[in-house]
Structure 1
Amino acid sequence: MLAGRYTIIIVVFAFLLLPAPLAVENPPYESYCDGNGYAVNSTFQANLNLLTAALPVNASISPAGFATAGFGSAPDQANGLALCRGDTNASTCAACVAAAFQDAQQLCPLSKGATVYRDACVLRFASWPFLDFLQEGQWLVPELFPSIFKGPGSVNASDAWFSAAVTGIFRALVDHAMATSNATRKYFATGEMDFDPKLYGLAQCAPDLTLAQCRDCLRDLATILTTQYLSGRPPSISAFVVWCSLICSVSPVYDGRAMLQLAAPPVPPPSTTLTPPSSGRKRSAAVISAGVACSIALMLIISAICFLRFQRRINSTENNHPLKKIGRAQCTIFDLPTLQEATEHFSEKNKLGEGGFGTVYKGILSDGQEIAVKTLLGRTGDGLQQLHNEVLVLAELQHKNLVSGYMAPEYVMHGRVSPKIDVFSFGVLVLEIVTRRSNCSSDDHSTVNLLSDVWDHWSKGTMLQMLHPSLDEVAQSQALRCIHIGLLCVQSKPEDRPDISVVVFMLTRDSMGLQPPSQPAFFFGRESPSALGSDARSSYTYERSGFILGQGISVNEITLSELYPR
């Protein structure tokens, strides 16, 4: 306890010794909110306040400009990471991280998870242990989803030369960042290429990464940028994830002199156009005229046949066009100005999600009714066909006899649309797969759906009875963890369900502790006295012998014991 007090005194004293932080006025590149909400003056907010005070100081006094910290215990633990650009000084680093926390409060208010990218730093905090991603067996490069930024305009150079230059500077930066693994500024490299115009580049990894992890992270970003984002020859292009970043621009992206001075690649030779040889012997005018006449006659015959076939096809498919099908689906048709007014001209703040064929926005009509508006990307027939299918399905969902087997309660009862309705549907699907039962039916005549069956067995401690008897202990443990995750996904309140990114971590990280679920939505039955309330502070982990819960008892072959954070 005394050592803890000394630590606080030292940190505060170090903060007082720092020079006054520079003003950070530029807005962040981008920010992401990916956590559930928390209440004002809650335990999580108190832990987040401690994190907000500690990370700017700890990152600024670190030689590598990097710091991680965690305060509190699950489910209210606040975990954070801050990484400053390798060429920043202590005051700029502290000011940037502090500004990033302010950005998170403004752009992600009362959210338990946020990521903020600024010019001089990156900040990440969450209520779940995202730092475990770096542990052996947990690092998966395909799970890195970078933020990509392209500057407006175009570089005046050929596509081939520009592509060779950007690829070359990225390759040199990645190699040099690996070579500085033992330096004070670990995994950091800057470069300047004598291109026309000059190119400036930067590569950086978080110091906690292994050499192989940093290499994989940077190479993945370089591959994505050079294969997908060089069209149009953008004057600046960059990719960011929490663990690494890669930048190339015609303007300086670092302070001071570059670590690398690179020569531009050779200019590729211009493409040559082959001139067809002359026809040689001239034909007589009579032969040419006859050939032209025959060709015209043949073209007229072919055109007539094609026209007749095309006309028949139009007549047979005119009534099956996706837009006409939509009109026959007995749906209300709105004009574009009405939809623009309802969505505030398709404002980004009303954006609900994005798919392969379009983007979905939340809208409010003049009478107060909430709607979802989908805009199509391009004019592909596939997009229209998909829209037609969605409209027909949504129209049928209004049928009074329809059982809502995967629909979240907030949509069924109030028509509210949010990303958490997909999490609910996923949870139902997981429970169906693991138990091999449909949500529309139940083996127990005292209950009416699968969610009620699962919760009834879960609260009584008889969950193994719903699993197939052929499963061994390892398979039972995996199945129980999946059921646990499924129950977390089908909670009644959307804010109690995990984000899909957290669900992925739960499914792929067996060592990640899980919070106890509360009664799911659409539960019909009596609550068991032994069921855990939503305010329980226990954390589940799963082992070969079953699953472990913080109570210290054993019920129906399920081992339970107390867990403490390390």
Structure 2
Amino acid sequence: MLVKLEAFSSILSYLLIGVTIVAASKCYDTGNFTVNSTYGKNRDLILASLLSNVSAKGGFFTDSVGQNSGRVYALGMCRGDSTPHGCYTCLNSSIHGLIASCPNQKQALSWGGDPPCMARYADRPFFGILELEPTDAGYNTGDITSNLTEFDTVWEGLIDSVVRKASNGSSSLKYATGEADLPPFRKIYALMQCTPDLSDKDCDTCLRQSAGYYESCCHGKQGGYVQKPNCWFRWDLYPFYVSNASTTAPTLSPPPSPASPPPHSVNSTITKGEGGRSSETLVIIVVPIVIFGAVLVILAVACLLKRIKKTKQEDNKSHVGSLQFDFNAVRVATENFADANMLGRGGFGSVYKGKLEDGRKVAIKRLSGNSTQGEQEFKNEVMLLAKLQHRNLVRLHGFSLEQKERVLIYEFLPNSSLDNFIFDPVKRLQLKWEKRYTIIEGIAKGLVYLHEDSQYRIIHRDLKAANILLDEEMNPKISDFGMAKLFSVDQSRADASKIVGTFGYMAPEYAWHGQYSVKSDVYAFGVLVLEIISGQKINSYSNQAGDSLLTHAWRNWNEGTALEVLDPTLRDGSRSEIMRCIHLGLLCVQENIAYRPTIASVILMLSSYSMSLPVPSRPAFCMNSTMETTTMSEPSSLSNQSKTEVIQASVNEASISELDPR
């Protein structure tokens, strides 16, 4: 049983499992708006943007949209131990509840979920401003049945410790947890969090004000919570959060009971022993022994680390050796790179069909011979590519390196590339809607692996239909990492010294300013989704002034005729799935990078039909082109050369990557 209190309402009681925090909304009486007003549209737009941004930004995001009286300010925050999925789910539910409870109020606030999240909007700036009301509070109806005075003493010490830890947090996270021993065999657990836009002092004030509710509402209760516009606080007698060493306050114990004087120890006997020797004698004997022991331990650890490093180097050398093919074997496999075996040609070199001695069919990429990349650098990049193992990525079998010859050996995919099917008037008939939907899902899963799930963070930068290869069962595999970039784990974006990629698939911030991130791949994915659904290339409408596949799709979606975009050969597909994918594609190609979902959010949107999708804004301007014009960098992480070529779509553009840690 939990009792919920509000500063602006009477006490309410309701049944809960444990001390679950129930969603609550507060609509401010500071003015209303009409549903179709500019303010109303901006409110819906910015609340939708919270969904894709809060979880992607580490659990906290603020933004504003609009001008003058139509401007809306919004904030979203999830609890510090929330997973991205949990954060997204909580906010999705909270925002829908907020809109339902406060349909036309210009200011509103919602707390919801367990672990909780917060969504708030207003017609005035409130970021970084301490506000202590309204308050939402509740408690577990279970009472403390033993020594309440001792409980209060332990509770107060714990709360003080957690307040100080949370308020001293960073500008991106002010969150802390802690626990304290409660004799005889129990613990008190506490969690506190402020919106990180608060100053340390204001955070401290907010949390201590929240803790002050203990006396008035929750004294003697086993657990409870308090929520304010800038902070929340909870305690209970069981661990209700995920512990993290960096955000956990030191464990507290009650003060020890008075004890009788200790008996004489061995040390005291030695100190005053026979011959009048003092404690200094013991120090002279013990200290050298301790130092000698420490030296031995250090030497042993150094030896062990050296052995581990040597073993790792030997394993890597062995693994490189297992991937390396003799160049003569490659010649034989391709019949000396016969034109009859050529699958395609691109800026990085030519691709040939081959058959190895063990009978495996492979695609062999012969890289252009003017690379300045060193032998060891080439091997290191091959090792990295070989470690990228996912069912929706083309697999690298090995390489060959002989003088100026650099060759990559990939798995052979008999159905060539996606563009050979969806843009062909006859072959597209083989791709019914169920198969196209599977291809969309597969591409998204491959991107999630590159962006989040592998041990590296890789931006592809050239996602397009020609670089999606199809296996025997028409499952998609992302290929051609020739333009890929390696990000550090905490890196969000980078600036390119030269633009590489394919016009039409390039995100506007990249095409115009050279800025790229995971959202650049999301943009290209959105273009690809709309191409798969429509069977039309991105430049199919270039003969119409100011139009493109993107603006054509958005205009029809906005006018309620989205199915006009659909490939006419898709007669039997699920209309709800098709509409959802059109909607999703338009979300991915929005001009504002902050409004685009992450690819992990895309997976959630594809798999959960109960999840409402935000309203897309008009897509970015599309640079129309009658051919795929690409600025290509050489296949070397050290290259400073570039060239511009007109490239026809090929069957397999897989190549060595340009994986540059920035």
The structure richer in strand per residue is: 2
TM-score by length of structure 1 reads 0.38
Structure with larger RCO (C-alpha < 8 A, sep 6+): 2
TM-score by length of structure 2 reads 0.33
